[in-house]
Amino acid sequence: MKLVFTLEYNGKEFSGFQKQTNAITIQEKVEAAIKKITLCDVSINYAGRTDAGVHALSQVFDFETDIQRKDEDWINGLNSNLPESIKVKSISQVKNNFHSRFSAKNRSYAYVIYNSKSKPVFFNDFAHWEKSPLDFSILKNEGASLIGKHDFSSFRSSSCSSKNPVKEITKFSVEKYNNFLIFHITANAFLHNMVRIIMGTITDIAKKENHLSIEKIITAKDRSMAGRTLSAKGLFFLGPEYDDVYNVAKPSQSILDKFKI
């Protein structure tokens, strides 16, 4: 049978999700926890390869097993063997053709900016600090230009290995809560560092430091035309969405549901 799980994690202590030979990662910790309770070596499939320092509210992973356990025993067993910064939230059984990555219809991220002259002492690990004032109307208007199917070559890192830079962004929003700016973005897929580069570009435009529009930067297909790659600590993977037939937990709709900002 194939089991699928959702989990959340604080990415501060880890060098990303994907297993590496010389660094501590989320995948390493999850697979070690699975081995603890199954006594089997398991290689998991997962929905998104988040980078070092990036957090997640609803990462999804799956694996096959013949071991029968109650759902609560799977969850409690894994969580008792995971560090406090990683927590399994839900479990379900799916068809064998399910794959956490390839079955996903879309993926959603949130980005948190703390916009103030003063540093966010208590939220410093979970928000990017922008000292200069950001024009909220510019953030909204320029962000709207991202929606649609475009070649996002201007918003990919030099190490991006994707063969196809054309992605479709279906949702983009920004909300303001006191000094916090909360961005939500959904697409069928993302290029490496795409969200963080978009955030750096749109904030540079909102500070009047980049005088190009998002539309012109997209058309240029040139990374040098876009802005900075903002810090990983402000980025949250909200999760993937699947067809209802798979009965997988829905992604977090908003980061506000978690942090109650």
Torsion sign (Cα): 136, 190, 252, 42:
negative
CATH architecture of 2-103: 2-Layer Sandwich (3.30)
Domain 106-237 -> CATH class = alpha beta
Give the per-residue pLDDT at 148: 97
51 catalytically annotated: yes
Which one of the listed residues 51, 66, 73, 125 is annotated catalytic?
51
What pLDDT is attached to residue 161?
A: 80
Low-confidence ranges of the chain (pLDDT < 70): 257-261
Residue 259's pLDDT is 58
Give the pLDDT confidence score for residue 258 in this predicted structure.
Answer: 66
- Residue 257: predicted pLDDT: 67
Q: What is the share, in percent, of the chain residues with pLDDT greater than 90?
A: 85
pLDDT at 143: 95
Sketch the domain layout of the chain as residue ranges: 2-103, 106-237
